[in-house]
Structure 1
Amino acid sequence: MQIKSLDIPDVKLCIPTLIEDPRGYFFEAYNEKTFHEQGIKDYFVQDNQSESTKGILRGLHFQTQPMSQSKLVRAIEGEIFDVAVDLRPDSPTYKQWVGEYLSATNHHYLYVPVGFAHGFFVTSEKAVVLYKCNQFYSKDCDRSIAYNDSEINVEWPLNGIEPVLSQKDISAKPLSEYMSTESLTW
């Protein structure tokens, strides 16, 4: 497993080592020891899986303290554009974002640490996304930032598609509203 820092160094792109032969391929999907040796020391307690069709945008989601989450995200079918947004006010990369294409073909994962919002846009006809979380879901701590927040300005690869959003994401607030009403600490 090769783990690379991205433009926001705390967000990691994880590239598994594939063993291929005429029968297909094999790779070690998760090995706690390997991840810990490479600096990802989370203990994951919950796995989530979603299925979405082309044009669906989920996010930007995060959980506040005491239930803040890190995530290890991968697409096991199809392709997504996966995004992490730095919400840590004291960080030099505050309000910046990184995005990577994750697919069943490239087998890449994105590690999204605590203190980041996460979202993805489905670019294939269908995508199945599997992600590990280091904290359980909490309705009371769950938050959603508008995917098109002008302060963050994520460059989603919409290519003329109007994204399909959940009611939660339609009602999402810009980050500035959270900053004026909540103390986001990690």
Structure 2
Amino acid sequence: MRVYLTGFMASGKSTVGPEAAARLGQPFLDLDRLITAHAGRSIPTLFAQEDGEARFRELERDLLRRTATTDDLVVALGGGALVDDANRAFAKEHGLVLYLEAPVDTLLGRVADDDTRRPLLEDETGTRLPRDEQRTRIEAMLDERRPAYEAAHHTLDADRPVEEVVGRIVEVVTAQAEPA
């Protein structure tokens, strides 16, 4: 079964995905990493270019469709991948979509505690926004993206220890794969 993990940045997709894939005996693919490998540049560099986010989204759409060539696969999607109606419909048709949901405080704590560049939480000069502005931006983006996330087949609480989230993913996938 093809499994697509969706959720806001720092919801844990790239952390729990490889562990869930290993427990399910499936390969793991991080779509953002595939995009950077395909483009030959980092996501912040892609976003900084003239066609920035539009080019990134084009690559995301194309590479998402390529995942349909592998039957058993766990894919961590970028936080905005399923905001696009066509991407969301594709993922739902070609796999099981699981939304890793976490509260704003958890997401803010996770992005504040890592050194990953996150262009959507930076100002126009590439400088990380102050924490209060990051919160405001996360809240606004979550409000905008929530309907896309909630269209997933299942919503899982990602504000839990990694092993619990992995266990829950495995439970849902296993139950879905069992004949009715």
Fold shared by both chains (TM-score > 0.5) = no
Q: Specify which structure has the higher proportion of strand.
A: 1
Q: What TM-score, normalized to structure 1?
A: 0.29
Which structure has greater helix proportion? 2
